[in-house]
Amino acid sequence: MNTRKLLATSLAALALAGSMGAFAQNTDSATTTYRYGMNLDISKVISIEEPSSATCEVVESTMTYLNSAGEVNAVTYRTLADACKTQN
């Protein structure tokens, strides 16, 4: 019985931590989340940040760029990790 309670508590804590991370990410006003078909005014790419991953999986990358007015913008998008290039 104690094992079930421990498992249920652990799962609830993980779900709460995951939802808090998603909430914190969505409140970041400096970054826009890419939607399919979204028009981007990219004049120059400043940087592309991608989390490192040892396995082939979908990760969230961030591209920082200048638009045609010279303003700095950032967009997050989902892509395959670099590990997918080397795995069969």
HEC string for 54-85 = CCCCEEEEEEEEECCCCCEEEEEEEEECCHHH
| Domain that residue 7 falls in | 1-29
pLDDT, tens only, 19-59: 444 444 443 457 899 999 999 999 999 999 999 999 999 99
- Same domain assignment for residues 41 and 61: yes
How far apart, in Å, are the Cα atoms of 23 and each of 7, 17, 62?
24, 10, 17
Q: Rounded to two decimals, what is the model's pTM? A: 0.61
pLDDT, tens only, 49-84: 999 999 999 999 999 999 999 999 999 999 999 989
- Same domain assignment for residues 39 and 81: yes
- Same domain assignment for residues 13 and 51: no
- pLDDT at position 57 is 94
- pLDDT at position 47 is 96
Per the model's pLDDT, the better-predicted residue between 9 and 68 turns out to be 68
